[in-house]
Structures are given as structure tokens and as C-alpha cells.
A and B are shown apart, each in its own frame.
Chain A
């Protein structure tokens, strides 16, 4: 049984910070913690994280399982009361390809979105560290 998830988000991306803050406000079914990927404690707590975790959304469970990209999105949804059923729907074979496409698009478009919405330019994001911990 998984009781705890840690979400590692890209703190250089304003959009991602907002998403992490939103995540922290949602009603949860299991314990969920958001930490900036660049936070010094991350490498210490999770030694040997794959290199892909720097570029993609990453979720680590309390049993050492690492979820990257769309797996990470689905796991984050799974932790939320209002979204758990959607995580199963999107993980079903028929919807999985669309979910994968949508989530990778979000991942790729996050920098243009930041530029368009004026969310960039937060080298020290307000939600980094303790403030963002859910």
C-alpha cells in the first residue's frame, strides 16, 4: 500500500509552481507533498533519481517507485479525492494514448505558456520549500 507521494516539480517554471500550489489545495486521499526538483534536499532524499526527472514531472512513492511524465500525472491525480476516478479512466488502454499525448504537450508547452502568461521570471519561486509543502 502506498501512503505517501512526493511530487517533484520544475521550480524554474511559473506554471508548474502554480500547478503544485493547486495540488496542495486539493482534497487528498493519501499524503501528498510537493517539492521543487531543484531543492537541495531532493538528491539527498531520493538518491539515484533518473536524469529524465529534471525535464519531466516526477512523482516518488514511499516504496521507492519513481513515476515520470504521464505516469507522474496519473499518480498525482490518483492521490486526489476528486480526480482518482479520472486517473483510472485515463490509464485505461483506450484513453491512455490521448492522456500521454496531452500530458507530454503540457510538459513541452510549459515554457511558451509561461512566456505568454507572463509567469516566467521567478528564479526563486514563492512556493519553493516549506511554503509549498502540502
Chain B
């Protein structure tokens, strides 16, 4: 019987990275694609500014998430296949939770920016109390 345990650590790391990196890219691309319309409202339909802010937000998102994914690899010796699954599931789970939290935070920020932008562009908060007689005549 073979007493030396097989080293499956590389498989664990590989499956972890193969799931988390595409996942991060996918969420990032979704954010960029759908965040644009929020930013357009926030910046009064200024396309250039909206695209620039969108790109900057995406860079921050990728840096934080990929940084976290890289830091999370850790030092583990995996020697059986259930261990590979456990390792990958544990780490992918953490990555998903963090990406999800970032995603909702981004949504919150985007919707706030949009609301403020729309409000700035809105009509007066109250209708006139009355109108000048001259104006009333010209309307009649």
C-alpha cells in the first residue's frame, strides 16, 4: 500500500482561482455595463464624465477583489479529493460573499448618486403661492 499521500494542493489552488477570477471579472463587467445608466443620470447625461467615473469604479472593484482573492490562497496542504473540494468551496464562498457585499455597496452608491443628480435637475419643490395679475391676464 502506498503510504505517501498524493499532493493535491495545486489542484485545490487551481480550482479556486479558476472559479474566483472569472467570477470577479464577470461581476465587474456587469457592474460597468449596468452602472453606466445610473451614472448618466447622476452626471446630467454627461457621457464622458459618466464613462470616466465608471472606469475608475471598476478599477477599484477589480483591485480590491483580485487582491482579496490573491491574499486568500493561504498555505494549506491538501492530500485528498474531498480536501480539494473543501478548500475550494471555503475560499470561493468567502470570495463570493465579499464580491456580493461590494456589489451591493456599489449599487447603493450608484443609486444615491443617481438620486442626487436627478434631484439637482428637478423642478421647484413647491408651486407658486399665487401669480402676478399681469401674468394671469396673459395666460387667460
A63-B135, A64-B135, A85-B116 known; A50+B130 contact, CB < 8 A: yes
Chain A binding surface, main DSSP class = mixed
Smallest CB gap from B139: residue in A: A64
Q: Does B132 contact A (CB under 8 A)?
A: yes
For window 82-140 of B, CB contacts with A under 8 Å fall at 116, 119-120, 122, 124-136, 138
Q: Is there contact, CB below 8 Å, between B126 and A75?
A: yes
A48-B133, A48-B134, A64-B135 known; A87+B128 contact, CB < 8 A: no
Q: What residues of A have a CB within 8 angstroms of the CB of B126 in the complex? A: 67, 71, 74-75, 91
Q: Is there contact, CB below 8 Å, between B133 and A88?
A: no
Q: Say which size band chain B's interface belongs to.
A: 10 to 19
- The one of B120, B129, B136 in contact with A68, judged by C-beta atoms closer than 8 angstroms, is B129
Q: Is there contact, CB below 8 Å, between B128 and A67?
A: yes
Q: What residues of B have a CB within 8 angstroms of the CB of A61 in the complex? A: 124, 128
Q: Does A2 contact B (CB under 8 A)?
A: yes
Q: What residues of A have a CB within 8 angstroms of the CB of B122 in the complex? A: 88
Q: Is there contact, CB below 8 Å, between A47 and B132?
A: yes
Can you name 10 A-B residue pairings with CB atoms under 8 Å?
Answer: A61-B124, A64-B131, A64-B132, A64-B135, A64-B136, A65-B128, A65-B131, A71-B126, A71-B128, A74-B126
